[in-house]
């Protein structure tokens, strides 16, 4: 499913004048920051997740630094999995500790996460079995033979809650419903994995964190060009919906018809991020990664500032200003340092070793 499929219904024709462009721009997905596009990292996440699900592995785990686009990646992956794995029930869950210390609090909370009828406190019986039956019923209704659980912020769960979730998944597998957990979190995922190993809970490592992989930002001019190219492609995102006008064409239609493309700005865009990063990393910028949130914020700033219906040469000279407005500079030295990675490189593995 592409980004335009996730937009609200919009059947208006494209603007025919600059006055119409200004009016319609107020509701544009770029202006509202209401759209999803797959960065190269998101595409790698999707490819890895689909591969592991296809091999019926128990889990697929990703860790990313703050503001690298993890939540957007989950939303995109949710739609992508429903297309690529049509025989699966895909359920998103945001990890959080239960609000009660009662033994069955987490099970009751999990019971209600899929948007169905709420759990009735008067119901008797094993709370774990209630969740199992609920998921089996959902899978039956969806004619699904497997469950894909997308868990955001996995480290928010306690070891007891992870144990309960593992029990639920094991019972589903015994009931012939294959289960794969695709989990996301910050670098705390690495700390959680280490803590589970120290407490000899390798069963939970195997169920939720085997093959933990880094979810990266945009790390090269080529990747920047790939993302900018998404804004040029009406098959990925158009506005108004069904108009065939890509996002970049909407903001600079005459320039677009004249051959200009946002992807042509990749070098200037990436150099602006490099220059900003170099101010905080004078020793070099090798290993620079730009979080998707900052990158798209800079693009959104440039598109809205350069908007002009008639110009054939749009003004995209102020990428340094766009980078500053994106919040990227504020992140340097705070949530991100050049060379940071959420998951350190793994030591070399012996050939044929399991993940």
Distance, in Å, from the CA atom of 352 to the CA atom of 354, rounded to the nearest integer, reads 6
Cβ–Cβ under 8 Å, residues 155 and 185: yes
Residue 246 phi/psi, 5-degree rounding, is -65, 165
State the pLDDT at residue 184.
Answer: 94
Cβ–Cβ under 8 Å, residues 246 and 234: yes
Per-residue pLDDT tens over the stretch 201-234: 999 999 999 989 999 999 999 999 999 999 999 9
Q: Residue 103 burial by CB count (10 A; 0-12/13-18/19+): exposed, middle or buried?
A: exposed
Q: Is the pLDDT of residue 235 over 90?
A: yes
State the pLDDT at residue 8.
Answer: 45
Cβ–Cβ under 8 Å, residues 274 and 286: no
Cβ–Cβ under 8 Å, residues 146 and 178: yes
β-bridge mates for residue 62, sequence order: 184, 213
Per-residue pLDDT tens over the stretch 51-68: 999 999 999 999 999 999
Distance, in Å, from the CA atom of 128 to the CA atom of 168, rounded to the nearest integer, reads 6
Q: What is the mean pLDDT of residues 226-247?
A: 95
State the pLDDT at residue 3.
Answer: 43
What band does 246 get if pLDDT is binned at 50, 70 and 90?
very high
Pick the residue with more confidence: 337 or 260? 260
Q: Which residues in the chain are classed under CATH 3.40.50.300? A: 40-215
β-bridge mates for residue 94, sequence order: 152
Beta-strand pair 178-185/213-215: unpaired
State the pLDDT at residue 350.
Answer: 61
Q: What is the mean pLDDT of residues 228-256?
A: 96
Cβ–Cβ under 8 Å, residues 80 and 148: no
Q: What topology does CATH give the domain 40-215?
A: Rossmann fold (3.40.50)
* Average pLDDT score, the chain: 89
Q: Which helix (H) or strand (E) holds 149?
A: strand 146-152
Share of the chain above pLDDT 90, in %: 71
The secondary structure of 289-323, three-state, reads CECHHHHHHHHHHHHHHHCCCCCCCCCCCCHHHHH
Share of the chain above pLDDT 70, in %: 88
At residue 199's C-alpha, the angle toward residues 197 and 205, to 5°, is: 40
Q: Is the pLDDT of residue 96 over 80?
A: no
Crossing angle of the two packed helices 319-326 and 266-280, in degrees rounded to 10? 60
Tracing tokens 């119409």 back to the chain, one arrives at 20
Distance, in Å, from the CA atom of 67 to the CA atom of 291, rounded to the nearest integer, reads 6
HSE of 189, CA atoms in CB hemisphere, 13 A:
30
Q: Residue 31 burial by CB count (10 A; 0-12/13-18/19+): exposed, middle or buried?
A: middle
């Amino acid at each position: 499913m592409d980004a335009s499929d996730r937009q609200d219904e919009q059947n208006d024709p494209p603007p025919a004048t600059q006055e119409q462009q200004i009016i319609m721009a107020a509701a544009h997905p770029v202006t509202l920051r209401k759209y999803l596009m797959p960065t190269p990292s998101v595409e790698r996440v999707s490819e890895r997740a689909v591969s592991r699900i296809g091999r019926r592995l128990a889990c697929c785990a990703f860790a990313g630094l703050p503001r690298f686009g993890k939540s957007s990646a989950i939303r995109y992956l949710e739609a992508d999995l429903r297309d690529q794995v049509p025989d699966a029930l895909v359920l998103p869950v945001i990890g959080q500790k239960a609000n009660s210390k009662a033994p069955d609090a987490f099970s009751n909370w999990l019971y209600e996460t899929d948007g169905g009828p709420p759990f009735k406190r008067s119901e008797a019986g094993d709370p774990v079995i209630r969740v199992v039956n609920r998921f089996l019923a959902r899978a039956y209704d969806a004619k699904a033979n497997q469950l894909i659980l997308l868990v955001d912020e996995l480290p928010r769960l306690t070891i007891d809650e992870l144990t309960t979730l593992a029990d639920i998944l094991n019972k589903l597998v015994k009931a012939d419903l294959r289960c794969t957990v695709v989990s996301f979190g910050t670098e705390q995922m690495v700390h959680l994995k280490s803590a589970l190993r120290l407490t000899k809970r390798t069963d939970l490592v195997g169920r939720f964190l085997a093959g933990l992989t880094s979810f990266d930002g945009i790390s090269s001019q080529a990747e920047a060009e790939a993302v900018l190219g998404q804004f040029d492609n009406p098959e990925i995102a158009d506005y108004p919906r069904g108009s065939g006008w890509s996002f970049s064409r909407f903001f600079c239609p005459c320039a677009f018809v004249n051959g200009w493309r946002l992807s042509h700005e990749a070098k200037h865009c990436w150099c602006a991020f490099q220059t900003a990063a170099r101010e905080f990393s004078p020793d070099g910028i090798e290993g620079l990664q730009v979080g998707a949130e900052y990158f798209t914020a800079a693009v959104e700033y440039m598109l809205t500032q350069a908007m002009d219906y008639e110009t054939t040469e749009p003004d995209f000279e102020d990428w340094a200003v766009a980078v500053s407005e994106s919040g990227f500079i504020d992140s340097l030295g705070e949530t991100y340092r050049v060379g940071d990675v959420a998951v350190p490189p793994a030591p070399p593995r012996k050939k044929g070793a399991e993940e």
